[in-house]
């Protein structure tokens, strides 16, 4: 990645102190998130679709079963923009104007290609499942030839991108502002008690990676 040399389209032009370009920062955000919003344009018409994803080294795997037609279009070589956003809190300022959110976001640019071989698809399904829930791919059944044929997976090289982060208290507090409570309501993605599938035998306990599930994963 051109970490220290942001390109024209990735440079964060406003609030530049929130811009980050190093892989460690980007990858921590990508590894914590669960949904990517993938944007592309066909004849000038923009589309944004939510997709499952996983980072595998310096690539992003995008799982397209939710939008097979669009995946085929993307795989034809269109430019994409991929955003992953983690919401960390609601920022309550004293002024309406300064209300905000704490967040960490990544935006990537590039051209995704469609994974072709069954070996690559199998590796991608494993990476996607491990991204959702580490440890699971050891237990789950691997894909059948029919399932691999039905799997549309895209791979995007992580070559161009940037992160933006807002954290901390509100930025206001002026003499004329009212003396009201201000601060941050932290937000987190929190798991509830696991719900067994109706076909799970009575008395079968969920494995540790389910009972102790949390984001970010350990």
Instruction: For the CB of residue 143, give the shortest distance to a copy of itself in the complex, in Å.
Output: 5
Task: Give kind and range of the element (H or E) at residue 98.
Answer: none
User: Contact with a copy of itself (CB under 8 A): which of 17, 57, 145, 179?
Assistant: 179
> CA 77 to CA 60: how far, in whole Å?
15
> CA 20 to CA 189: how far, in whole Å?
23
Instruction: For the CB of residue 59, give the shortest distance to a copy of itself in the complex, in Å.
Output: 18
Contact code string over 134-173 relative to a copy of itself, x by CB under 8 A: --xx-xxxxxx--x--xx------------x----xx--x
Nearer to a copy of itself, 155 or 207 (CB): 207
Structure tokens that stand for 81 in this block:
């923009």
CA distances, 179 to each of 26, 37, 97, 98, 174 (Å): 38, 39, 16, 15, 10
- Which DSSP symbol is given to 204? P
User: Contact with a copy of itself (CB under 8 A): which of 2, 22, 35, 76?
Assistant: 35
- Which DSSP symbol is given to 173? -
User: Contact with a copy of itself (CB under 8 A): which of 9, 22, 77, 134?
Assistant: 9
Instruction: For the CB of residue 57, give the shortest distance to a copy of itself in the complex, in Å.
Output: 19
Nearer to a copy of itself, 20 or 164 (CB): 164
- Omega before 172 within 30 of 0, i.e. cis: no
Q: Give the three-class secondary structure for 216.
A: coil
Scan residues 73-112 and list those touching a copy of itself (CB under 8 A): 78-83, 85, 87, 89-90, 92-97, 99-101, 103, 105, 107, 109
> CA 56 to CA 213: how far, in whole Å?
21
Structure tokens that stand for 26 in this block:
């980007």
User: Contact with a copy of itself (CB under 8 A): which of 47, 56, 118, 160?
Assistant: 47
Instruction: For the CB of residue 189, give the shortest distance to a copy of itself in the complex, in Å.
Output: 5
Q: Give the three-class secondary structure for 125.
A: helix
Region from 22-30, 54-62, 153-161, 202-210 binding a copy of itself, contact rule CB under 8 A: 202-210
């Amino acid at each position: 990645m051109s970490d220290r040399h942001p390109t024209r389209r990735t440079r964060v032009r406003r609030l530049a102190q929130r811009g980050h370009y190093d892989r460690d920062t980007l990858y921590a955000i990508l590894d914590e998130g669960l949904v990517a919003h993938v944007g592309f344009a066909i004849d000038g018409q923009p589309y944004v679709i939510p997709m499952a994803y996983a980072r595998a080294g310096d690539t992003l795997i995008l799982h397209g079963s939710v939008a097979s037609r669009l995946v085929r279009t993307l795989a034809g070589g269109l430019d994409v923009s991929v955003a992953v956003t983690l919401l960390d809190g609601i920022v309550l300022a004293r002024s309406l104007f300064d209300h905000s959110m704490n967040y960490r976001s990544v935006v990537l640019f590039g051209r995704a290609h469609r994974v072709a071989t069954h070996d690559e698809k199998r590796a991608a399904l494993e990476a996607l499942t491990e991204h959702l829930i580490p440890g699971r791919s050891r237990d789950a059944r691997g894909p059948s030839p029919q399932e691999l044929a039905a799997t549309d997976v895209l791979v995007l090289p992580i070559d161009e991108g940037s992160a933006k982060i807002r954290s901390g208290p509100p930025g206001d507090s002026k003499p004329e502002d009212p003396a009201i409570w201000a601060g941050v309501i932290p937000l987190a993605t929190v798991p509830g008690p696991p719900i067994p599938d109706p076909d799970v035998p009575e008395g079968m306990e969920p494995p540790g990676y389910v009972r102790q599930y949390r984001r970010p994963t350990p």
